[in-house]
Structure formats: C-alpha cells, structure tokens
A and B are shown apart, each in its own frame.
Chain A
Amino acid sequence: MAKAMLVDLSKCIGCRACQVACKEWNQNAGEKTENTGTYENPPDLSPQTWTKIKFVEQNSGDNVKWLFRRMMCQHCTDAACEKVCPPKAISHLETTAVVIDQEKCTGCKYCISACPFNVPRYDAADNKAKKCTLCIDRISNGLIPACAKVCAPGAVQFGERSDMVKLAKARMDALKTKGVNDLRLYGESELGGLGVMVLMTAAAEDYGFPDKPSFPVSVNLWQDYLKPLTIVAGGGGILAVLVSFIGSIGYKHKQEGGE
C-alpha cells in the first residue's frame, strides 16, 4: 500500500520542531542567518535546509491571520524531477519517497529547473542536488519521518495514504462545522497525487503554492523524445539541443510563477 504524509496546516503552530528534527536526523548543518524583520529563517531552502516553515501574515482591518506553511519536497507521483534526470539518479520508490541517489547524481540541475514546487537545491560543495528524502532511511525501517515524530500538535502525520485521506476529510468536515472556509486537501489528486498532502485553510496561493501544480511541457518533451537520444547519441552534436532545452525549462518555470 502507498504511504503518504499529511501536513494539516490548520493544526500547525509554526514551532519549527520539524525544521530542527530534519537537520538533526539528516545531520545537516545550521546556517548563519540574520533577522530580516520576520521570524522566518533560514531565508530559503538550501542544500542544508530541506524543510522550513514559511510565515505568512494576512491583515484585513482588525483581523490578523498568521499562516504557517511547510516548505519541503511534495514527493509527487508524477515527479518531474524523476522524468528529467539524465543519469536516472532520481526514483519514485514504492514507499512513496522520491529520492535522489547521491552516488548517481551528476549535478546537472535539471531537477531543480523542472520541479513545480522549486524544491531541490544544488550543493556546489559536492556538485549534487539535495532535498528531503521523506526520511527514506527511517520509513524503510518501519519508523515515521523525523518531522512527523516531533510534531507536538499532530499537524504532521504519516501512514497509509488512504488513512491520511480519511483523516484529512474528517478534519475538514469538523472545521466546516466550525465555520472555517477555504478548505482544500492539496495533493489528493494533483500531479498524480502528492506523497505529501497539505490540508489548507486558505487559498493555495496565499501559502505560496501554485494553485494548479503542473510541470513544464518541456519535461514531457524531454522524457519522451530527447532523453532517449542521450542514451544512443553522445558528443557535441546533441549539445545545442540540450542548451536550448534547458533554456526552455527555465523559461517555463518562471512563467508558472514558482517561488
């Protein structure tokens, strides 16, 4: 059975235990940061920061809303990064996790350009792309991901995908009766179903998620037509095609308003 993570933003209190637990389990270094006028830090995902909480303030008159969003790999079923990876370093495993095999990664950055959620980060130190692994080393051994383990209010849950959907639907029903609108289970079907589903209490864009996540047309182009060529052909002849292709992914990405 497929597994999934549910991030229930209606329960998230922005305590960032998930951020710390992620670094602790994966032994990723703390970064030197500055306060730029917000609680949010580090400023962005990085090779050392695979998840972070984005703090969003919304104000209308006397009503203040403070939204907390989990930024992390969404572990798409239709994973653009997997499709574009020339050395096939990225695989969508049975456990739901989409992982980058660090041995095979050549640092080409295609995955970075292709990701609809702008998640993987290039690490110049070892010329590899880095991102959340869904704690593959934990979940393959029967444990839940570190972030789910430490989440005090229970906003991060991990289990059978069908159970997570049920949990989310029940929560949404309860919230509806309390008068909460703008409810959405993001990732139930998007991109073939996200391995990390998000229960939202505001519009996706308010959190900084694309309303309708999709991946660039050029990814399909690459997957279906160009990638096979790299296997049979090599050398300079194809280089020009590649350069043009990379450019098109980058263009498409900006157009879709990724972060």
Chain B
Amino acid sequence: MGPTFGRGAMTQSWIDIKNSDVIMVCGSNPAENHPVSFKWVTKAMENGAKLIVVDPRFTRTASKADIFAHLRPGTDIAFFGGIINYIITNKMYHEDYIKSYSNASYLINPGYSFKDGLFSGYNDKDRKYVTDSWSYQTNDAGATIKDATLQDPACVFQLMKQHYSRYTPEIVAKTCGIPQAKFQEIAKTFAATGAKDKAGTLLYAMGLTQHTVGVQNIRAFSIIQILLGNMGIAGGGINALRGESNVQGSTDFGLLAGSLPGYNNLPDAAKHPTLAKYKESEVTKTGFTQNRAKWLISMLKAWWGDNASADNDFAYHYLPKNGAGFQKSGYTWIALFEAMYAKQIKGLLCWGQNPAVSGPNSNLETAALEKLEWMMVADLWKTETAEFWKRPGVKPENIKTEVFLLPAALSYEKQGSITNSGRLIQWRYKATDAPDKAKDDLWMVDTLYKEIKALYQGDPNAKFPAPILNLNWDYGQEPDSKMVAKEINGYTVADKKQLASFAKLADDGSTGCGNWIYSGYFVGDGPADNKAAARDTKADPGGLGLYPGWGYSWPLNRKIIYNRCSCDTAGNPWNPQKVLVQWDGAKWITNDVADFGAKDAATGNPITPDKTASAPYIMLAEGQARIFVPKGAIKDGPFPEQYEPVESVIKNPLSAQQINPAAKIWGADKDKLTAFGSKICPIIAITYRVTEHWQTGSMTRNLPWLTELMPEMFVEISPVLAERKQIAHGDWVTVASARGTVSARAIVTERLQGFKLCTGEPEVAGMPFHYGYTGLVTGGPDEDKNYSVNQLSPHVAEPNTGMPEYKTFLVDVRKAVT
C-alpha cells in the first residue's frame, strides 16, 4: 500500500467497518482470527451490508457470508484482475474520483511494455528488472504529461484496461476455480460500491501477503479500491488486519528489514553512501515527503545527541546500510537463516519469537540454529526455539550452540504503548509484578546495552565502537518507558521541550525525534499529555465511530487517512450521510482530523478546497494514488500480474511465465522444491491459524482452557481426497512435502473441496501452524514427534519484502502406518 497510496498501514479503524456497504474478506478469516473485528462486520450487516468471503476453505467467517467462493490458493491476482476487468468493461468505476485523485491520466514512457508475462527491462541472470522504462512521460519543463480524457493509448487508464482485458471470467474460472456465475455475482456486488455514496472495504491478512506475489496481491486490490473511489471514505479502505497485538508498532519502528522508524528507507550502501546522496534520492520536491530530511536528521539527533551535528552529517555514517548481507540478500527472514545455515552469523537475539515453529522450512532453520555460537531467547515459556537442541531427531550432545533463556514479563506486567489495527496507539498500565526473576523487555535491552557499552569501552581492539559508545542513551537507572515515549514524540534540543507535532521538526539538528509519525502522542508530563492513554468513549463527531478521544492514531490522530478523497474537488462529500470532512463554503468541517491542508498553519485561515484537490495523497510526490507504480518502487512490475506459486499443480493459464520472474529462490541442500509436473506431491497445502491458539502456540499451548479446545495438530481434507486415500475422520495421517513430514489428525469435511480448473481438479489440505514439540500440549501424543507444519513449507520469497510463501506449497497426504 505504501507505493500505491504513500503509507503502509491500515487505512481505517475497526469500528469503521460498520460503515461499509460491502465487505470483501479475502486472505483473512476475521471471525476466527480477529473475532472482535467481527462485532463491526456484524453491525455493518445489521445495517444492510453484504459480506463476501473468498477463501480456499469454508471458514467460520464463511458461515456468516452472503456470498462465498472457494478460491485456489495463490490466484488472488487472477481473481482481483477479473474484478478490475469487470469494473472497466461495465463502466462501474468512479470516473470523477480516478480523474482527480489517481494517476489514471498520466502518460507512460513508450519504452514500457508487457509481453507474455514479462514487463520491459527484465534481466533473467539475476531475476531482476531494470525499471527505467516504467516511468511517466514528462515535458521539457519536467512536468508529467497527462490526458484528462483518459483516451490516449499511452495513459495509465488505457494501459490498465489493456492489461486486465485478458482477465476474463473464463480465465478466472480456469485459474481460481471459481465458477463464472459465482464470479460475476461477486464482481457485480462489489463493483456496485463504485456508486458515489457507497463504500466497499477489504479485510485481508496473511492470506494475501504470504505469497511470492504478496505485494502485488495488495496492489491488485488497491487498484480496485481506487477505481471504485473507495479510498479515504468512511466504510472504505483497505484493512490489513494485524495478527499480533503490536505488529503495526513493530513496523512503525523499523522492524521491517528495509526501513528505519517512521518508514524512512534504510540507507542503501551503493545508493546512499552519504547524507547528501540520501537526501537527493529520498527527499522529494513535491508532496509531504519533501520534509523527509527533517524526520531523518531529528531521528539521528535523538539517537546520537551531541555526537550528531552538521559537521559529521548528524552521524549518518553510524547507520547500518542495506545492500550487503549474505549473498547480497539483505536482512530479511529467509536471508538471515540461510546466512546462519552457511555459518555467516555467530549469534542470535531471539525476542518474543519462536522461529523453530514459525519459520518456513523449519528443518533448515533449526539446523541453522545449530551453527550459531550462541543464542538468546527472551520469552514467557521454554519455546521450541529455546529447546531446539533437544528437538525430536537430534542428539543434544552434538549441538554446541550456547543458549541463554531470559524469562520475560507479560504485557500486563509492564507499562508502555502498543500499536495495532487502525494505527491506534494505546497506553497500557502495569497490572501486576512479573513472577520471580522475569523482567520486561525494556529492562533487558537497557541492561544489554549498558553491558555491551562497558565491553566496548574496555576493548582497545573494538571494531567501529563509535555508534555504540556515542549513543544518546539515558532512560534512568531502572529504565522508564515514559522517557522512551518522550524521545519518540520529539523535543527541542536546546531546552528539551516536548514538541506538539512533527510540523515542528527541523533538519538543522535543533530537534530530536525518535519516530516522526508518532510526534504529538506524548507532548509533556501532564496527565492529559500522554494521548495514547486517553479514554474518552463519548465524543463521536459525525456518528461514524471515529472516537478521536480514545488513544491516538498516527499521524496526528487521523482515524481515516486520505480523507480529502471523501469529497469531490470542491469539497462536497460524495456521501452526505457519512461525512468525514466537508467544505461549507467558508471553512472545512472536520469530523476527522484533516489529512490535507485545511488551515494555514501560520495565519489559521482556511485553505480552499481547490488547493488540495490535485494532491490528496500527500505522502506521494505525485499527490495522486498510483494505479501504475513507476520506477521500481515495486520491484516486480508496475501492474500486478498473475503467476503461479513456486510449487504449483498447473501451468500458468495467463502467460508463459510460470512463477513471479523476480521471486527469490534459495539453493541450500535443504532447500528442496517439488518440480512442476511431479506426481509425488500433488495436493495443495495451505496453513493458517485458529481462534483457539495464537501464533506458534507458545502462549496458548500452555493454557489448559485453550488446549482442551484445540488439543492436536490436524489436517482438513475433502471427503473426495479422504476416500481416495482411505482416510477416516480422526485418523492420524502423515503429510509430506519435498522438505519434511508432519503427523496430523484428519478432519474430513466438505468445507474443503477440490478446485475445478483448466486441467484437473487439484485437492487441498489445510493445516494450522500452532503446534511443535514443547509445552503442555505439543500437537500429538508422541514425544518423539515434531507437530509443526512449517517442516513442510519452502524457502522462497517475495521480491519486495522477503515474505516467505507460507500460504501455498505442495504435499502428499497418507494414512499413517500404525
């Protein structure tokens, strides 16, 4: 979503789902995995909304759907592409919206082309695109050339129309396995939200992202939402349901391998060797990102204080740079474990994670842990990762890795903020002390830093000690999360005054700010200054469920981002019943915080709507949403294109390119793949979560009230497959891929069905990823077995994010020999 709209975040809030007219659930399962969100889905349905569920399985969410379709895993782009084609063919798009608020009218460089699955600029040696030809046409003055009529064959709208004209209902049926009539029903229902006063939304999660085309899956739906004018309005948007209580917070703070806090790109060794070079490529001339230097330099000031000054480029050279790493693969998940497996990494700090269960191809990844000299695990329980050295099938005496297990405090045993769906930052107070010697994470980081610093200080041979020794690090003797929060919010360097918002940040070193997007959430020491702790349940301007007084949604407490798009260019709301912002002729009425210039900061005078009509997507240089993403902001194509999963049962019906040409495939000895056409593993596997367990189960598999509900590893298969394999309800079966095997109980159910495709009717096997080999329950009765499904999944990755393809690979299912 970042490259399309400017921000990589859920655009709405949970409550806003109630404002939708049509809710599409694709790649998520809210009734099971986000049950609280279903309160708002239910509310919307009570108000007359339709629920569409598209999934490889009939889920608990599907049980409540108005329309349900089985979709073959890994074919979301064919499905979404079909909807794009339907919208264009039937002229159901919101014409005013795309003309004003998207790049539909932009002309594209004549060098751009798309032929038989490949975009222009492909280099098959390194499986990468040179993206120069994916660019806008400009005139001599450097301005983009546009065709407001959308008729020029080189304009984005026409190129899109041509690209998706191939995605016919027949192709959708053959590729996805959705019958044509069912597909038409879905397309018609969702496309109806192209009406000016209607809103449609998408609820998605890992079912769309964990593919070798994960980013393009979201891109495809983004195009649908732009075409229908569903972005920036109440009840619209794209809702990335966050699967972990603080996962939005973690990406906000740079836990993505390619970003710094606040989504500033991590400097690249080749592209950004100096601060000047970084500014040259990252600070735009138009759009809000022209302020990026202020955000980066304020962060450097927060990190290195007096040791960051104009004289030393604000210590820019202290920052780690992307572009190196094992086989130049960067620092994404698979790359790190491949590097460990190749003995390129000596130690691992493993914090609140359980990679022995959650990582793909876990037989490789646990073998990689054996190659480490040491590993620290901070967790509540002895996880599979902490005990990988005595996992089934290995001899502990042969494993040399030294493991340190630090008992950690639970969320209720510490204070601080979490950020999740809706970009909502919420403060939590400590309710009780942690048991025994368990410590909170902040204490661990603080202690670790102080020890490391002491070691560096005493070591004359220390390599590059400055970034450690010069850190601006003082959160108290016993570290205080409020002091961290104050640094995140930002302050003036001279008098240490908290800043009111990121508007006050400067690029001359006079301000420090840990994360610019959070600026304004912790503005002082007074009781009302911690805005994440605000708990007003009453004020609800507009009656839309925005509740601005509950917590704080970055940026600037905007509940629905890009909300300028909820009005026409003159500031009249598309839907007068659901007003986020409105120009009343003299000023803006703002039920939500305006995500555009509504008032002049200096004079306080209203800014008329014409001033913001051409650039509502303020975080993009163009100011307009990108149907076509130019210049390699996405590495595998300016338009989403359907490719098969790396392990697939059929030939790509769309083109000669079988898989994503830019997908990253690894080649260690344990990286085995099932070749296309192999008869050994003919069944499509999918993995998922259930309501009753959480992630790798390290918390939930130790709670008897939850283990009684879902005690054992299972595989869901159709009665057709069960009959073919002579498998009965509740039998123990073996599921095998090219990489490993796992035992599971069979659940035979018509909720799963084979897919009627162009060739054959492949069957599907669905498995949860919650089980392993430690804890109160492991997943089965046998102590010598590992019940983790990720023994089966492959090390293949999406080119932009490095996301593993957990959601579709090939297996066989056999009755277990007893």
* Residues of chain A whose beta carbon lies under 8 Å from any beta carbon of chain B: 11, 13-17, 19-20, 23-24, 29-39, 41-42, 57, 59, 64-68, 152-154, 174, 178
Also in contact, A20 and B706, with CB within 8 A (given A35-B730, A64-B751, A153-B42): yes
Whether the pair A36, B730 counts as a contact (CB closer than 8 A) is yes
Given known A-B contacts A33-B711, A42-B708, A152 and B730 have beta carbons under 8 A apart: no
Flag if B710 contacts A13 (CB, 8 Å).
Answer: no
What is the minimal beta-carbon distance from B538 to any residue of chain A, in angstroms? 20
Q: How long is the Cα–Cα vector from A68 to B31 in the complex, in angstroms? A: 13
Hey, what's the 0/1 contact readout for B669-713 against A, CB within 8 Å counting as 1? 000000000000000000000111000000000011111111111
Q: State the majority secondary structure of interface residues on A.
A: loop
Task: Say if the beta carbon of B587 comes within 8 Å of chain A.
Answer: no
- B710 touching A39 by the CB < 8 A rule? yes
A15, B704: Cβ atoms under 8 Å?
no
Q: Which residues of A contact B38 (CB under 8 A)?
A: 13, 152-153
**Contact of A35 with B751 in the complex, beta carbons under 8 Å:** no
Shortest Cβ distance from residue A192 to the other chain B in the assembled complex, whole angstroms: 31
A154 and B62 contact, CB distance less than 8 A: no
In angstroms, how far is the closest chain B Cβ from the Cβ of A144?
16
Contact A20-B705, Cβ < 8 Å, known A33-B711, A57-B751: yes
The 7 closest A-B pairs by CB, nearest first: A30-B704, A37-B729, A37-B730, A13-B31, A66-B63, A35-B712, A35-B745
Give 15 A-B pairs besides A35-B710, A35-B713, A38-B729 with Cβ atoms closer than 8 angstroms: A13-B64, A14-B63, A15-B31, A15-B32, A15-B691, A16-B691, A34-B711, A34-B712, A35-B712, A35-B714, A35-B747, A41-B711, A68-B63, A153-B31, A154-B39
- For residue B683, give the distance in angstroms from its CB to the closest CB of chain A: 18
Q: Cβ of B708: which chain A residues have Cβ within 8 Å of it?
A: 30-33, 41-42
Q: Contact at B706–A37, with CB atoms within 8 Å?
A: no
CB-defined interface of B33-68 with A at 8 Å, one 1/0 digit per residue?
Answer: 001101101100010000000000010111110101
Please give, as numbers and ranges, the residues of chain B lying within 8 Å of A32 by CB-CB distance.
708, 711
Partner of B60, one of A14, A24, A36, A38: A14
Q: How far is the CB of B627 from chain A (nearest CB, A)?
A: 35
Q: How many residues of B contact A (CB 8 A)?
A: 43
Contact A152 B751 (CB under 8 A): no
Please indicate the chain A residues that have their CB under 8 angstroms from the CB of B32 in the complex. Answer: 13, 15
Q: Return 13 A-B CB contacts under 8 Å, by A number.
A: A11-B64, A13-B60, A14-B691, A15-B60, A16-B691, A19-B709, A30-B708, A33-B709, A35-B747, A37-B746, A64-B750, A68-B60, A153-B35
B-chain residues with CB within 8 Å of residue A14 when the two chains form the complex: 31, 60, 63, 691
In the complex, what's the smallest C-beta–C-beta distance from A148 to chain B, in angstroms? 13
Q: How far is it, in angstroms, between the C-alpha of A14 and the C-alpha of B710 when the chains are bound?
A: 13
Q: Which residue on B lies nearest to A64, using beta carbons?
A: B58
> Chain A: which residue is nearest B748 at the CB level?
A37
Once the chains are docked, how many angstroms separate the CA of A14 from the CA of B707? Answer: 16
Q: Answer whether residue B344 sits at the interface, using C-beta atoms and an 8 A cutoff.
A: no
Cβ contacts under 8 Å, B712 to chain A: 34-35
Which chain B positions have C-beta within 8 A of A65?
63
Q: Which chain A residue has the least Cβ–Cβ distance from B30?
A: A13
Given A34-B712, A66-B62, A153-B38, A16:B46 Cβ within 8 A: no
Do residues B31 and A154 form an inter-chain contact, with CB atoms below 8 A?
Answer: no
B60 vs chain A, min Cβ distance (A): 5
Interchain CA distance A179-B748 in the complex, whole Å = 30
Q: Does B35 contact A13, Cβ atoms closer than 8 Å?
A: yes
In the complex the two chains form, what is the Cα distance from A91 to B36 in whole Å? 36
Residue B113 lies at the interface, judged by CB distance under 8 Å to chain A: no
Asked if A153 and B711 sit within 8 Å, CB to CB, the answer is: no
Question: With a CB–CB cut-off of 8 A, which chain A residues contact B457?
Answer: none
The residues of B that contact A57 with a CB separation of less than 8 Å are 749-751
> From B42, which residue of chain A is reached at the shortest CB distance?
A153
A30 to B46 Cα, complex, angstroms:
35
Chain A residue nearest to B64 in the complex (CB): A13
Collect the chain A residues with CB atoms within 8 Å of residue B749's CB.
57
- Which residues on A sit within 8 Å (CB–CB) of B692? 16
CB-CB < 8 A to B705: which residues of A? 20, 23-24, 30
In the assembled complex, which residues on chain A have CB atoms less than 8 Å from the CB atom of B691?
14-16
A residues less than 8 Å from B707 (CB atoms): 30, 33
In the assembled complex, how far is the CB of residue A35 from the closest CB belonging to chain B, in whole angstroms?
4
Q: Is the CB of B709 within 8 A of A20?
A: yes
Select A66's contact among B728, B747, B748, B751, beta carbons within 8 Å. Answer: B751
In the assembled complex, which residues on chain B have CB atoms less than 8 Å from the CB atom of A68?
A: 60, 63
A20 to B709, CA, bound (A): 9
Interface residues of B in 705-753 (CB under 8 A from A): 705-714, 728-731, 745-751
Instruction: Give B37's nearest chain A residue, CB to CB.
Output: A152
- Nearest Cβ on chain B to A29's Cβ, whole angstroms: 7
Give every chain B residue within 8 A of A19 (Cβ-Cβ): 709
Within 8 Å CB of A39, what residues of B? 690, 710, 747
Question: Shortest distance in angstroms between B33's beta carbon and chain A's nearest beta carbon?
Answer: 10
Q: Which residues on B sit within 8 Å (CB–CB) of A16?
A: 691-692, 709
A13 to B39, CA, bound (A): 10
Min Cβ gap B817→A in Å is 19
Q: How far is the CA of A239 from the CA of B512 in the complex (A)?
A: 88
Complex CA distance for A161 and B40, rounded to whole angstroms = 25
Alpha-carbon distance A20/B693, docked complex (angstroms):
12
Cβ contacts under 8 Å, A11 to chain B: 42, 64
With a cutoff of 8 Å between Cβ atoms, the chain B residues found around residue A31 in the complex are 704, 708
CB of B420, distance to nearest CB on chain A (Å): 16
In angstroms, Cα B35 to Cα A149, docked, is 14
Chain A nearest CB, measured from B589 CB (Å): 32
Task: Looking at the assembled complex, report how far the CB atom of B735 sits from the nearest CB atom of chain A, in whole angstroms.
Answer: 15
Most buried by A among B64, B731, B745, B746: B64
Partner of B39, one of A29, A66, A153: A153
The minimal Cβ–Cβ distance linking A54 to chain B, given in whole angstroms, is 13
Contact call A13/B730, Cβ cutoff below 8 A: no
Give Cα distance in the complex from A161 to B593, angstroms: 42
Shortest Cβ gap from B713 to chain A (Å): 8
Shortest Cβ distance from residue A176 to the other chain B in the assembled complex, whole angstroms: 14
CB closest chain-A residue, reference B729: A37
Q: Which residues of A contact B729 (CB under 8 A)?
A: 36-38
Which chain B residue shows the least CB distance to A17? B35
The residue from A29, A42, A59 contacting B750, defined by CB atoms under 8 A apart = A59
Q: How far is the CB of A123 from chain B (nearest CB, A)?
A: 17
Residues of chain A within 8 A (CB-CB) of B39 are 152-154
Least Cβ–Cβ distance between A199 and chain B, in angstroms:
13
Contacts of B728 in A (CB 8 A): 37
B751: A residues at CB distance < 8 A:
57, 64, 66
A38 to chain B, nearest CB (A): 6
Residue of B42, B64, B709 with most chain A CB atoms under a 10 A cut-off? B709
| Minimum Cβ distance to chain B for residue A257 (Å) | 23
A66 to B58, CA, bound (A): 9
B453 vs chain A, min Cβ distance (A): 45
A178 surroundings in chain B (CB, below 8 A): 66
Query: Smallest CB-CB separation from B691: which chain A residue?
Result: A15
Per the bound structure, the CA–CA distance linking A31 and B776 in Å amounts to 12
The residue in chain B whose Cβ has the minimal distance to the Cβ of A16 is: B709
| B750 to chain A: closest residue by CB | A59
| Cα distance, A174 to B42, chains bound together (Å) | 13
Looking at the assembled complex, report how far the CB atom of A58 sits from the nearest CB atom of chain B, in whole angstroms.
Answer: 9
Q: List A contacts of B46 (CB < 8 A).
A: 174
Closest A residue to B46 using CB positions: A174
A59 to B41 CA separation, bound complex (whole angstroms): 25
Given A20-B706, A35-B711, A41-B710, A66-B746 contact (CB < 8 Å) = no
A64 to B716, CA, bound (A): 15
Q: Closest A-chain residue to B728, C-beta based?
A: A37
The answer for the CA separation of A19 and B61 in the assembled complex, in Å, is: 19
Task: Please give me the residue from chain A that is nearest to B727 by CB atom.
Answer: A37
Assembled-state Cα–Cα distance A140/B743 (Å): 49
Partner of B61 from the list A13, A41, A174 (CB cut-off 8 Å) is: A13
Q: How far is the CA of A11 from the CA of B35 in the complex (A)?
A: 12
CA distance A166 to B10 in the complex (A): 37
